Amino acid sequence: MIEIKDLLSRFSNILLSLEGKKGTIRKVLSEVIKINIDSKDIKIKNNIVYLNIKPIYKNEIFLKQEQIFLKMKEALGKKIPQSLR
């Protein structure tokens, strides 16, 4: 019989990888656009990053989107998000 802790360890690995991805996205965005974004303002759903920030920062992110994706590809490898919204 499978113990509950074994089942929960699978989910903790998923959650840790999600938090790691959020941290990497925060780091890349802070390097490129020079602002700090809180991890609670970043949501990842269906491989799309949703940012809950001011529109002026979103505009700057969209202008520098190619540079951001290049840095994310260096940091995350093949598992980069499809888009930023």
Q: At residue 84, what are phi and psi to the nearest 5 degrees?
A: -115, 130
Q: Cβ distance 60 to 17 under 8 Å? A: no
Give the confidence band of 76 by pLDDT, cuts at 50, 70, 90.
Answer: confident
Alpha-carbon distance 60 to 4, whole Å? 45
> What is the pLDDT, as a whole number, of residue 50?
94
The tally of domains found in the chain comes to: 1
Q: Cβ distance 49 to 81 under 8 Å? A: yes
Alpha-carbon distance 24 to 76, whole Å? 8
Give the confidence band of 14 by pLDDT, cuts at 50, 70, 90.
Answer: low
Question: 38-42 long-range CB contacts below 8 Å, 24 or more apart?
Answer: none
Provide the domain limits for residue 48: 4-84
Tokens of 28: 């890349």
Tens digit of each residue's pLDDT (9 = 90 or more) over 30-64: 999 998 999 899 998 988 999 999 999 999 999 99
Can you give the pTM of this predicted structure?
Answer: 0.76
Alpha-carbon distance 37 to 50, whole Å? 12
